[in-house]
Amino acid sequence: MMERVPTGIPGLDELTGGGFISGDVILITGSPGCGKTTFGLQYLYRGAVDYKENGVFVTLEESPARVIRNTWQFGWDIERLVKEDRMRIIRADPIAYSRCIPDRSKNKTPPHIDLGSVMTETLNKQIEHHVNEIGAKRIFIDSITSLKISENEFQVRSVILELIKNLENLECTTILASEITPGASSRETFNVEEYLSEVVIRMHTFRSNGNRVKAIEILKMRGTKHDEMMRPYAIINSGLVVYPRETVIDGRISGTTVLL
């Protein structure tokens, strides 16, 4: 029987058959502002507080201070978890990495060297180090879009493949966040990381009668049955909550539950 990892997100485990499969890499995709960071941090925070599973958070975009500040609204004391070695935060800045690579125009760097590959190699070592130090079981990386900075599609695929394969060897259950272009079709936004991840969850936002409707959809989940409908979700005072008995059809919520 496969070991399950509770997500810590109310309503979501009902859609996944009891939580994520232990050791899987889960991809969360969506447009900016849909709640991907809240999703991932809630997974880490509730994992540490409710299930005694330490976690590692990798931020490639926002500063750790800003991320922590943004979680105060939910009452999450991430600073305490960091001080208690129950959570580690890694700040990986693509701009800082780029300064470490010599100027190619001066012929000091072989043309095949790619910034994304350099970042990924260093990042993998950092993640493994922190995972081992605190015995982490959960990882959240926000977002891998920052690693896809090469114009060469083959290099992008190699970078993401290297990252995911290394994550799979750490015996952690990992969430990766990835941006999609608002309004783009599913065909246009089905990226390499969606093929390589065991689970793909899409966070949608719609406009209906002037209101914003949020819906979550499990596009794939290898090795187990899962819900295939779009289900509404909301971000409330305690964090993100999914409403598994309601559906979203054509941007409208169908059901009887009053969403908070």
Alpha-carbon distance of 32 to 28, in angstroms, equals: 12
Q: What is the CA radius of gyration of the chain?
A: 19
Q: Side chain identity at 260, as an amino acid letter?
A: L
The closest of 38, 132, 150, 24 to 88, measured between CA atoms, is: 132
The pLDDT assigned to 2 comes to 86
Decide if pLDDT at 96 tops 60: no
Query: What percent of the chain stands above pLDDT 70?
Result: 84
* DSSP bridge pairs for 138: 55, 173
Confidence band, pLDDT 50/70/90 cuts, at residue 111:
very low
Global confidence as pTM: 0.89
Q: Side chain identity at 102, as an amino acid letter?
A: P
Give pLDDT tens digits for 28-83.
999 999 999 999 999 999 999 999 999 999 999 889 999 999 999 999 999 999 99
Q: Looking at 21-35, 39-53, 114-128, 203-217, which range is the least confident one?
A: 114-128
Residue 214's SS3 state is strand
Pick the CATH number of 18-214 from 3.30.470.20, 1.10.286.10, 3.40.50.300, 3.20.20.80: 3.40.50.300
Between 107 and 65, the more confident residue is 65
Angle at 176 between CA 187 and CA 8, to 5 degrees: 115
Confidence band, pLDDT 50/70/90 cuts, at residue 210:
confident
Residues 6+ apart with CB under 8 A from 132: none
Highest-pLDDT range among 43-52, 138-147, 172-181, 242-251: 43-52
Q: Looking at 37-46, 144-153, 229-238, which range is the least confident one?
A: 144-153
Give the start-to-end residue ranges of the domains of the chain. Answer: 18-214
Confidence band, pLDDT 50/70/90 cuts, at residue 1:
confident
Give pLDDT tens digits for 155-200.
888 889 999 999 999 999 999 999 986 655 444 444 788 989 999 9
Alpha-carbon distance of 50 to 38, in angstroms, equals: 17
The pLDDT assigned to 152 comes to 74
Average pLDDT for the chain: 87
β 20-21/25-30 pair status = unpaired
The closest of 163, 91, 90 to 130, measured between CA atoms, is: 90
Confidence band, pLDDT 50/70/90 cuts, at residue 257:
low
Decide if pLDDT at 258 tops 80: no
The pLDDT assigned to 85 comes to 97
